[in-house]
Amino acid sequence: MRFNQVLLLSLALGYASPAFAQTQDDFFNPEVLQRIELWLNESDWAKLKTNFQENTYYNADMIWNGITVRNLGIRSRGLGSRRSQKPGLRVDFDHYAGGQQFLGLKSYVLDNLSQDFSGIKESVAMKFFTRLGIPAPRETHARLYVNGRYAGLYAVVESVDKTMMGRVFGSINGNVQNDGYLFEYNYVLGSPWRFAYEGAALTPYKLRFDIKTNESHAESRIWGPIEELVRLVNDTPADRFEQTINPRLDLAAFVRYIAAQNFTAQDDGFNGYDGMNNFYFYRLEDSTSHVFIAWDEDVGFLAPDFGITTRLTDNVLTRKTLELPGYQSQYFSVLGEAATAAADWMRQEMQRQLDLINQAMLEDPQKPYTNDEYTAERARVLAFPEARITYVRCEVSKQTGSARPAGCQ
């Protein structure tokens, strides 16, 4: 039976011998503009585009680098980025066949770049987060062809799933971290949330934390620890905050995450303008400890002078954590570290990626912005790193009382 399944999957994926040489790193290789072909029934493509607000799956075949993958499922995805003309897509290899994988992946995302006129904000942000040691998905770009027609330039984004958890966290105490509790934060329209306690009932937490693994476990096992974490964050006084919360949430990693997100001037992230948004939350396997995973950073790089303390007091978790001198100091320290990391790298990386996608972006017939808007945004983004680095360094010096660097106003 097992052999038959393996044989079936091999046939399904249409592996020819050169395909065995391909790896996930090839698929997410950021140095290459990928070409991905999807083939699906014309009525399905029309349905998907018309019903782009729905998560209905459609069957498709995929061709990448000479490899044909059959029997996969695609659906529209995104929140504010959903578009009919150029749908964001989730590609699931195991939707119709449990266990079917492609290069070890169960799925990936084709980000339609509809909110990112430059086309590179998210891929640069994710790469930057990774450089700072923050869990973030791998990304590259691709020309997408649907039924033989160019459907536009897309970002190819690694799915945040068990496979990625195993890759990012590896083995802890001999246990590969691929079976913890993974949640996608669900932004509830009209109900901004800033980590305030919502009572002992689990329903509010079920609504906001969409479980992605171990779905069949008892609700108390899945969401009970989140309710407990939120309650303790809200109720625990400062003198016992660190010792109480740290076993349940890696506070140092959390501070690193929000500082890096602030550096990239992301206004729709954890400390977003309308409450928390755009992240995954992972409870490590056989542990009570949670960590944040970066996700959906395509509206970052808002402005070089995006305040480094923007909304730090609005969110209960952020406020109570940064009220502790050690973590406040760490926050500004990470901002400084981010500025240093960006100085040698960010503009060059932006330029490299822009050069890579330029022709594909100009030829993209479905993008919801003009080529002039793309060109203007491209220039604006390229100007961001230098101005931001200076601004952050100056503001950090103000906050910490350290020596003012050159260029501060």
Residues that bind other proteins (CB under 8 A): 8, 11-12, 39-44, 46-47, 50-51, 59-61, 70-71, 73, 95-98, 147, 188, 203, 206-207, 214-218
Q: How far is the CB of 110 from other proteins (least distance, A)?
A: 17
Burial of 375: CB neighbours in 10 Å, binned 0-12, 13-18, 19+: middle
Q: How far is the CB of 111 from other proteins (least distance, A)?
A: 23
Q: For residues 102 and 117, which CB has a smaller minimum distance to other proteins in the complex? A: 102
Q: How far is the CB of 291 from other proteins (least distance, A)?
A: 22
Q: For residues 1 and 403, which CB has a smaller minimum distance to other proteins in the complex? A: 1
Q: For residues 39 and 345, which CB has a smaller minimum distance to other proteins in the complex? A: 39
Q: For residues 189 and 403, which CB has a smaller minimum distance to other proteins in the complex? A: 189
E-state strands within 220-322: 279-283, 290-294
Alpha helices in 264-345 (DSSP H): 316-322, 325-343
Cβ within 8 Å of residue 104, ≥6 positions away: 24, 163
Edge-first strand listing for the sheet containing 209-211: 209-211, 181-185, 279-283, 290-294
Q: How far is the CB of 297 from other proteins (least distance, A)?
A: 25
Q: How far is the CB of 14 from other proteins (least distance, A)?
A: 9
Q: How far is the CB of 186 from other proteins (least distance, A)?
A: 8
Q: For residues 42 and 372, which CB has a smaller minimum distance to other proteins in the complex? A: 42
User: Angle at Cα 350 formed by Cα 301 and Cα 256, nearest 5°?
Assistant: 50
Quick one: DSSP state of residue 350? H
Please compute Rg for the chain using Cα positions.
22
Q: For residues 97 and 232, which CB has a smaller minimum distance to other proteins in the complex? A: 97
Cβ within 8 Å of residue 274, ≥6 positions away: 187, 192, 268
Q: For residues 203 and 359, which CB has a smaller minimum distance to other proteins in the complex? A: 203
Closest CA to 154 of 123, 200, 188: 123
Encoded tokens for 265? 């001037």
> Would you tell me how many other CB atoms lie within 10 Å of the CB of residue 78?
20
3 state DSSP class of 74: strand
Q: How far is the CB of 250 from other proteins (least distance, A)?
A: 26
Q: For residues 12 and 357, which CB has a smaller minimum distance to other proteins in the complex? A: 12
Distance CA(78)–CA(109), nearest Å, equals: 10
Burial of 353: CB neighbours in 10 Å, binned 0-12, 13-18, 19+: buried
Q: How far is the CB of 402 from other proteins (least distance, A)?
A: 47
